[in-house]
Amino acid sequence: MRYELFYWPGIQGRGEFVRLALEDAGAPYLDVGLGDARDGLGLPAIDSYLNGDATPRPPFAPPFLKAGNLVISHVANILQFLGPPLALVPDNEPARYWIHGLQLTVSDWVAEIHDIHHPIGPSLYYHQQEAEARRRAVAFHQQRLPRFLDYFERVLELNPAGPEYLAGGEHCYADLSLFQVIRGLQYAFPRTMNTHRARIPRTLTLVERVAARPGIQAYLQSDRRQPFNESGIFRHYPELDTVA
Amino acid sequence: MRYELFYWPGIQGRGEFVRLALEDAGAPYLDVGLGDARDGLGLPAIDSYLNGDATPRPPFAPPFLKAGNLVISHVANILQFLGPPLALVPDNEPARYWIHGLQLTVSDWVAEIHDIHHPIGPSLYYHQQEAEARRRAVAFHQQRLPRFLDYFERVLELNPAGPEYLAGGEHCYADLSLFQVIRGLQYAFPRTMNTHRARIPRTLTLVERVAARPGIQAYLQSDRRQPFNESGIFRHYPELDTVA
């Protein structure tokens, strides 16, 4: 099965959480948004799903994944679908609900991180809401960032199988997503993240473990890995990298 | 099986989406947060899960559901778990991924609605971020609210089985959640929502259908249904109910 990933070109964005799972597993996929409109790909292909021409079940927004006749929206839903065939989730029900819950916590975290630079709304440019963004960044760094960092560190610490993985003794898709959030935060807020190094030793070890996985290592060195930039979720605006 | 719902007392909040499913199906459940600490319930019971005393897999935040030995976090995850035993989801895989995706769109919408009154962050009071909230309300009402309303109206319109249900020819848990969001928006923003009546006829018909279901009707008239208030997600602050 060749999967088709639909996501906006030009940014890692939320699509990157899906790419990491596909790349880690070495699964064949077509990155539709990065293709050419003359080949039936690119933005017009994405739009045909969003506006309901291509499916009577239109997603609200990218990313979405096409797998045969299935069209699946939302990162957490896509990863839950891909988990079993890509061997990125254990074969037991309690672990699957637990890992999906962890992934939904990642989704909430990512939304909060995005809204640091867009506190008033996605319809305005950053420069139109920079004053509010500066205020939100302070609140985020003081309250929310430590809370999320401490949570995942504690999940690793409490894992009865040891702190190597988020869930039990096996690598799973949520490990890949935690890797991506930490790398994104380190890009966007290097000073702030530096002050937190000592509180998240297990998390930082997990990030290194994920980066060394053969599929991920190859992907990160390839030109398929788009760089972080100031159009994506994790934006490096120095004025928002305020150490609390 | 008697389910145990863990959610903050005093507000409908995100827990209400779970309550509606349990009440619609007539499923037995214990609302732990509303119980008394002297009976081992209430806030201390919630806290024992969050801090990891009661489980090595602590949720990040309420709501979470205990079902036997399973502890499941996040509204969408809980509803996906409850769907089959409560007969609130069809027995086919494509429909289940579609409905879970719709529920995750509801989650995104609810987060945006909450952040209207908390654009800088949840650690500050409303009165400390009222100026930013006023600005965010305008952007939400102009851009985001019509986009979400139009989306769900279009999902109903495109349903090959007709516009009565979100998915196929069967009632599902996402119908209940759409009901709750619309009722919440009508409470919080009556003037704004009035201006949108004509654009969402199918959605408003769905809301009436859900309200008339025996389990929901009985619940809404019971004292188990807590009223909307200004501590929850949907807050009626007249200064934020600005007609675009």
Predicted confidence (pLDDT) per residue in B3-49, tens digit: 999 999 999 999 999 999 999 999 999 999 999 999 999 999 999 99
Residue B233 has pLDDT above 70, yes or no: yes
| B172 and B83 Cβ atoms separated by less than 8 Å | yes
Size of interface A-B (CB pairs under 8 A): 128
In angstroms, the separation between the Cα of residue A146 and the nearest Cα of chain B is 13
Q: What token pair was written down for B30?
A: 């214990």
Residue B120 has pLDDT above 80, yes or no: yes
Second CATH level (architecture) for the domain A3-82: 3-Layer(aba) Sandwich (3.40)
* Average predicted confidence (pLDDT) for chain A: 97
Q: What token pair was written down for B171?
A: 């009632």
A124 contacts B69? CB cut-off 8 A? no
| A52: chain B residues, CB-CB within 8 Å | 154, 158
Mean pLDDT of B83-96: 97
ipTM exceeding cut-off 0.85 for this assembly:
yes
Mutate to test the interface with A, among B82, B109, B120, B165 (most CBs of A within 10 A): B120
* Average predicted confidence (pLDDT) for chain B: 97
| A71: chain B residues, CB-CB within 8 Å | 98
Domain parsing of chain A, residue ranges: 3-82, 93-213
Lookup result for tokens 């988020």: A166
Mean pLDDT of A58-82: 97
Mean pLDDT of A86-104: 97
CB proximity list for A94: less than 8 A, separation 6 or greater? B69, B70
Mean pLDDT of B103-132: 97
B101 contacts A59? CB cut-off 8 A? yes
Mutate to test the interface with A, among B74, B143, B147, B178 (most CBs of A within 10 A): B74
Helix (H) or strand (E) holding B201: helix B201-211
The pLDDT assigned to A1 comes to 85
Distance of CA B24 to the CA centre of its chain: 14
Q: What token pair was written down for A120?
A: 């008033």
Query: To the nearest whole percent, how much of chain B has pLDDT over 70?
Result: 100
Band the pLDDT of B243: cuts 50, 70, 90: confident
By CA distance, what is A93's nearest residue in B?
A: B70
Q: Is A31 helix (H, G, I), strand (E, B) or coil?
A: strand
Mutate to test the interface with A, among B57, B132, B143 (most CBs of A within 10 A): B57
Band the pLDDT of A243: cuts 50, 70, 90: confident
The pLDDT assigned to B1 comes to 85
| A71 and B95 Cβ atoms separated by less than 8 Å | no
Instruction: Please state whether A64 falls in left (phi above 0), alpha (psi between -120 and 50) or beta.
Output: beta
Distance of CA A213 to the CA centre of its chain: 17
Predicted confidence (pLDDT) per residue in B38-48, tens digit: 999 999 999 99
By CA distance, what is A113's nearest residue in B?
A: B121
A74 contacts B104? CB cut-off 8 A? yes
Angle at Cα B14 formed by Cα B9 and Cα B15, nearest 5°?
55
Label residue A243 exposed, middle or buried (CB < 10 Å: 0-12, 13-18, 19+).
Answer: exposed
Band the pLDDT of A52: cuts 50, 70, 90: confident
Predicted confidence (pLDDT) per residue in A77-94, tens digit: 999 999 999 999 999 999
CB proximity list for B131: less than 8 A, separation 6 or greater? none
Mean pLDDT of A130-158: 97
Q: Which residues pair with B3 in a beta bridge?
A: B29
Domain A93-213 of CATH type 1.20.1050.10: yes
| A106: chain B residues, CB-CB within 8 Å | none
In angstroms, the separation between the Cα of residue B44 and the nearest Cα of chain A is 19
In angstroms, the separation between the Cα of residue A223 and the nearest Cα of chain B is 31
Other beta carbons within 10 angstroms of residue B141's beta carbon come to 22
Mean pLDDT of A135-143: 97
d(CA B167, CA A28): 30
Mean pLDDT of B136-164: 97
Predicted confidence (pLDDT) per residue in A149-191, tens digit: 999 999 999 999 999 999 999 999 999 999 999 999 999 999 9
